[in-house]
Structure 1
Amino acid sequence: MPIRAVVYASEVAEGLSIEHLQSLVADAARFNRVAGVTGVLLHDGVRFVQYFEGPEDGVASVYERVLQSSSHTGLVELARGRVSTRQFPYWSMQQLPADQLLVGRLARADWSRFKISEPENIAGSVWGIDVLAAAVAPHVQAA
């Protein structure tokens, strides 16, 4: 079964509290587990970048929820496509802290491919998937 992925950037809705965000992420994790979707959400206090992957029907269901959510505005789809294997199979959904520099770099990165480079080529890469992999790696190793 082919795996699909979507990555987008958006702005945090005015008045979204950390508690509400944590509740949304927990709810998304439960929904994603059922849908067979894995992913990560980076949040810098002002913007989100989210990447999620899974079977086509699961990704479509998750994306519809994302599009209907009032927790963010100005959603911009950075990429959508097929991936040969899951790039981030670790979590049904995990929110990671990020600074504005990282979120901005992810939002401006080249997302025309979804295959993570070899580890020795990730540092300094312009590929969005590599920037995301480098940001996620310390959290995976700590888990």
Structure 2
Amino acid sequence: MPVLAMAFLSTAVQPWNPSHLDALVDEAAAFNREVGVTGVLLFDGIHFLQYLEGPAAGLDVAFARVQRSPHHMGPQELGRGRPGGRLVPDWPMRWLLADPTQLRRVVNADWSDDATADGGRPSAGEAIGLLQAYLKPFVSPPNRT
């Protein structure tokens, strides 16, 4: 089954603290395990960037759940595509505090599946690459035995 991915941006409904995020992410992780989705939530104190990956049906139900959430407003899909593999295969969901400048850089990348690097904007491959570089310190390398 091919892995699909999507990213979206939304604005937090304030106030937020780590315990709120932990509880929200625990609920999302339990749901995502059931539908075969993995992902990460980057939070800069105002905005959420959520990246989800998994089978198409799993992404659809996970995103529908996200759209109904009262914890944020205005979820805007940045793009969908086929990443070639999972970036966060061991994370049904995890949140990371994000530097606002880095988050903006990832958000402003071109997430469209058939993007090119015209006009100085990163292509979809570069958008995934920016996210992958951001996550690298947190993701365990694959076990090569």
Unaligned runs of 5+ in 1: 115-124
Offset of residue 113 of structure 1: 4.1
Pairing of 1:97-108 with structure 2 (within 5 A): 97-108=97-108
User: In structure 2, how many angstroms separate the alpha carbons of the residues matched to 1:61 and 1:30?
Assistant: 13
Offset of residue 132 of structure 1: 0.5
Deviations 1:88-112 (A, max 9, x none): 2121111111110011111101213
User: In structure 1, how many angstroms separate the alpha carbons of the residues matched to 2:99 and 2:83?
Assistant: 27
Runs (4+) of structure 1 exceeding 4 A deviation are none
- Residue 86 (1) aligns with residue 86 (2): yes
Offset of residue 12 of structure 1: 0.8
**Partner SS, residue 65 of structure 1:** helix
User: In structure 2, how many angstroms separate the alpha carbons of the residues matched to 1:132 and 1:85?
Assistant: 14
Q: Which residue of 1 aligns with 2:34?
A: 34
User: In structure 1, how many angstroms separate the alpha carbons of the residues matched to 2:35 and 2:61?
Assistant: 8
Deviations 1:29-59 (A, max 9, x none): 1111111101111001111101001111111
- Residue 136 (1) aligns with residue 135 (2): yes
Q: How many residues align?
A: 132
When normalised by structure 1's length, the TM-score is 0.83
User: In structure 2, how many angstroms separate the alpha carbons of the residues matched to 1:53 and 1:34?
Assistant: 13
CA contact (8 A) 1:113 1:129 kept: no
Offset of residue 85 of structure 1: 2.5
**Partner SS, residue 137 of structure 2:** helix
Q: Which residue of 1 aligns with 2:117?
A: none
Q: Which residue of 1 aligns with 2:67?
A: 67
Offset of residue 84 of structure 1: 3.4
Unaligned runs of 5+ in 2: 115-120
Provide the aligned C-alpha RMSD in A: 2.0
- Residue 3 (1) aligns with residue 10 (2): no
Q: Which residue of 2 aligns with 1:118?
A: none
When normalised by structure 2's length, the TM-score is 0.82
